[in-house]
Amino acid sequence: MEIPHRHLFGPGPTNPYPGATAAFADPLLGHLDPVFLELMDETCAMLRQVWGTDNARTIPLSATGSAGMEAAFVNTVHEGDVVVVAVNGLFGQRMCDVAARCGAEVVPVEHEWGQPVDVDRVLSAQPSPAIIAAVHAETSTGVRSDIAALGADKGDALLLVDAVTSIAGIELRADDWGIDVGYAGTQKCIGVAPGLAPFTINDRAFERRVEKPRSWYLDLGLLGGYVGEASGSGGRTYHHTAPTAMVASLHAGLARILDEGLPAVWERHAAAGKLLQDGLEERGLELFAAEGHRLPELTTVKVPDGVDSATVRKALLEKHSIEIGAGAGAYASSVWRIGLMGPNATPESVELILAALDDVLA
């Protein structure tokens, strides 16, 4: 089967860093091999840096970002717990569904899509929720919300945050901002193929965890022994077979990012996003996300009147081998999502996509 090269400028996956792809060609290691355990330890240490945390329990879960969301709720929601969810897009909605399946009494705080989370409204939605949950960078709308403000006034609640599209793309400081539980994905600004969910949980949340959660696969109490978070490499116990090739690839992607330096990586994403958003507005296109809250790594733009969204996306793919995303939910055909993530956060990518749009929209 002939696999074409695509410029992956959608909401993810992005094209991986070359080193992350190259790592797949290394010999496969067993999941209990001492060399793999060292590679896993290094991976966890690098994940702590991109999360901005000292949490011992910072690990790549063996499934995609959505399983990270499930792990976050299934380990922390006790039957009947009040969980306040800030809903300003698809992933906030999904949080409500997942939390409810874990036995939560969900209190959704609805927002207009395209707007950031209204911190005051979320904090005052319930007097003493067990958990407050929010999405840092809403992949469905391209909006950034103020997690630090939520963390500052969360009270006794645990703060549970989706950082799938923010991690390694924009500033993220889990510890400084009071994030108790966080999950992410590899396939966006980390620049690695999809398949793992970088996850972090602090002692405060771990101590309140569900002793026997509804999920065995995502049970952090069982997983802890496997990744050796508390006991060091010596105390590893078998839980499940880790996806060793994916972990090796993640290791390489993280090393690439930290070699450049996180502030430089954030700046690169910021610059590319601004260049794209300026270019789109110069062309008379209208951005969807609220001004002042736009993500640089994921730009949402309104499909112009009289233009068919799918036709344009098909032409971009077939003529330019460029993938961009449709909108999400009610905006499926009225919004496009353009991602510049990981290795694609460059001026060259911006030139490519703008030139292709000029061609296709002409």
Residue 333's SS3 state is: coil
Q: How many CB atoms lie within 10 A of CB 239?
A: 17
List Cβ neighbours of 47 (8 Å cut-off, separation of 6 or more). Answer: 58, 59, 60, 198, 200, 254
Among 19, 60, 182, 194, contact with its own copies (rule: CB under 8 A): 194
Gap between the Cα atoms of 166 and 296, Å rounded = 10
Task: Look at the block and give the residue holding tokens 């032409």.
Answer: 315
Among 243, 302, 304, 352, contact with its own copies (rule: CB under 8 A): 243
Gap between the Cα atoms of 75 and 210, Å rounded = 5
Gap between the Cα atoms of 16 and 340, Å rounded = 12
Q: Among 7-15, 153-161, 274-282, 349-357, which window interacts with its own copies (CB under 8 A)?
A: 7-15
CB of 309 to its own copies, least distance (A): 14
Footprint on residues 317-356 left by its own copies (CB under 8 A) = 317, 323, 328
| Residue in 140, 186, 137 with CA at minimum distance from that of residue 295 | 137
Instruction: Say if residue 313 carries a ligand binding annotation.
Output: no
Among 8, 47, 123, 134, contact with its own copies (rule: CB under 8 A): 8
Please identify, using beta-carbon distances, which residue of 170 and 242 lies nearer to its own copies. Answer: 242
- Which pairing describes strands 158-162 and 181-183: parallel, antiparallel, or unpaired? parallel
Q: How many CB atoms lie within 10 A of CB 261?
A: 10
Footprint on residues 81-140 left by its own copies (CB under 8 A) = 94, 97-98, 101-102
Q: Among 59-67, 176-184, 262-270, 283-291, which window interacts with its own copies (CB under 8 A)?
A: 59-67
Binding-site size, its own copies (CB under 8 A): 67
Gap between the Cα atoms of 63 and 87, Å rounded = 24
What amino acid is encoded at 295 in this protein? L
Among 89, 151, 195, 224, contact with its own copies (rule: CB under 8 A): 195
- 215 scored as a contact of its own copies (CB under 8 A): yes
Q: Among 130-138, 145-153, 215-223, 278-286, which window interacts with its own copies (CB under 8 A)?
A: 215-223
Gap between the Cα atoms of 193 and 109, Å rounded = 33
Q: Among 28-36, 115-123, 144-152, 288-296, which window interacts with its own copies (CB under 8 A)?
A: 28-36
Bond from prior residue into 127 cis (ω within 30 degrees of 0):
no
DSSP bridge pairs for 325: 337
- 13 scored as a contact of its own copies (CB under 8 A): yes
Q: Among 33-41, 46-54, 108-116, 122-130, which window interacts with its own copies (CB under 8 A)?
A: 33-41
- 12 scored as a contact of its own copies (CB under 8 A): yes
As to burial, measured by CB atoms within 10 angstroms (0-12 exposed, 13-18 middle, 19+ buried), residue 1 is: exposed
- Binding residue positions: 337
Instruction: Provide the binding-site residues for its own copies, judged by CB under 8 A.
Output: 1, 3-6, 8, 10, 12-13, 15-16, 21, 24-35, 38-39, 42, 62-67, 69-70, 74, 94, 97-98, 101-102, 185, 187, 193-195, 212-217, 238-246, 248-249, 251, 317, 323, 328
- Binding residue positions for substrate: 337
